[in-house]
Each structure stands twice: as C-alpha cells, then as structure tokens.
Amino acid sequence: MIEKLAKSLVAWQIKNEYLKPADQNLYQYGFELLIGQAVNLLIACLLAIIFQAYVTVFLFLVTFIPLRSFVGGHHADSHEVCTIVSNLIICAVCILAGRIPDGAILAVNLASGALCGIFIFLFAPVEDHNKPLDEKERIRYGRYSKVIWGIETLIWIGCYTFRMRNISLVIGLAHMAVMVLLCGGLIKRRSERRLL
C-alpha cells in the first residue's frame, strides 16, 4: 500500500514536471520512508490516546528512535510488517510501564541498560540486507550509537536518582527494545550467511 502511494505521488510529480524521470527510484524510496514514518507516528499517537500514556509514548520515541537509527538490527522486509512490529513494541512498552512496580524499576533498568550497552559495544551497528552500510558508515554509526546509549544511560540514572522513576523506566524499556531488535538482526544475518 505504501509503495503504491509513493509510486503514484512520484508519477504525478513527474507528469507535472516537478521531478525528472531519471530520479524516479530515488524519490519513490524517499516517499516510501516518509509515508511509512508518518503512518507509524500517527499510530503511535493513537496508541498514546488509547493507553492514556502520552508521556510514555513520547519519551519512548524520543529515546528509541535516535538509538535505533544508529544501532541497526532487524529490519522488516515490508513497510506493513515494520508498522505492525513497531506498534506492537509501543503497546508492550505502554503495558510494561504501567505494570512494573517501583521496586523493580532499578533492576529492569540495570539489566536492560547493561545488556543493551554490551551488545552495542560488541556488535553495533548491525546492518541488514535492506539497509547495507559502507565502512565509513559502520565506524560513524558505531561511534554515534555508543554516545547516544551513554547519554541516555546517564539521563535514566539521573531521573532514577531524582525520583523520576517512570521516566527512567521508559528509557530502560527503550534500551530493551533496541537490544531485542539488535539481537534479531544478528540472528537474521547469521541465518542469511548460512543460506549462502
């Protein structure tokens, strides 16, 4: 559906001479990404309303998106699967953020933060066949992912220390989600190598 909409938008722009036909594939890819992100963001807003978890969803997206962008990991083979998985993760975060007791927040954050950090320092970035990286990108993305993880970890520690534990929990859950997708990418990459 997203591909068809992007193709139609680009065809209309080429027909009206806003774009050159030679750039069709590039613009179609760009529109697919833009539309996919817009759909995911709209659904995330709806989930925030449904769960009445506006701050949780906002904080999750603010911490998850930058880290995920540089860590890499599993990427879905279609926009539809990406949308479903992304929003299932948001649902899980909303549910967990409301059910994890205050006494368990530190343990959850320590476990998710430490595991996420270990995996980032050992493996990030994890490229996918849908999103290959050259050597310069690997070095830059690896550096950025470590810095972002470090900053976010310091923020959750500060929030926990100053009794903003729900904020620290959401950051911990974002780190857990990034780690799961990173592991998924490693498993997918190894299974693809075995098939070759």
Cα dihedral 150, 151, 153, 157 sign: positive
For 83-173, where are the E strands, in sequence order? none
What is the predicted pLDDT for the residue at 20? 86
CA atoms of 146 and 151, how far apart (whole Å): 9
The model's pLDDT over 105-141, given as tens digits with 9 standing for 90+, comes to 999 999 999 999 999 999 999 987 767 788 999 999 9
Specify whether the CB–CB gap between 138 and 153 falls below 8 A.
no
What is the predicted pLDDT for the residue at 189? 82
The model's pLDDT over 133-143, given as tens digits with 9 standing for 90+, comes to 889 999 999 99
Cis check: omega of the bond before 125, within 30 degrees of 0: yes
pTM, entire model? 0.88
Candidates 45, 134, 157, 127; CA nearest to 90 is 45
Going by C-beta distance under 8 Å and a sequence separation of 6 or more, which residues neighbour residue 170?
55, 56, 59, 60, 63, 93, 97
Q: In sequence order, what are the beta bridge partners of 16? A: none
Instruction: Tell me the mean pLDDT in the region 157-174.
Output: 96
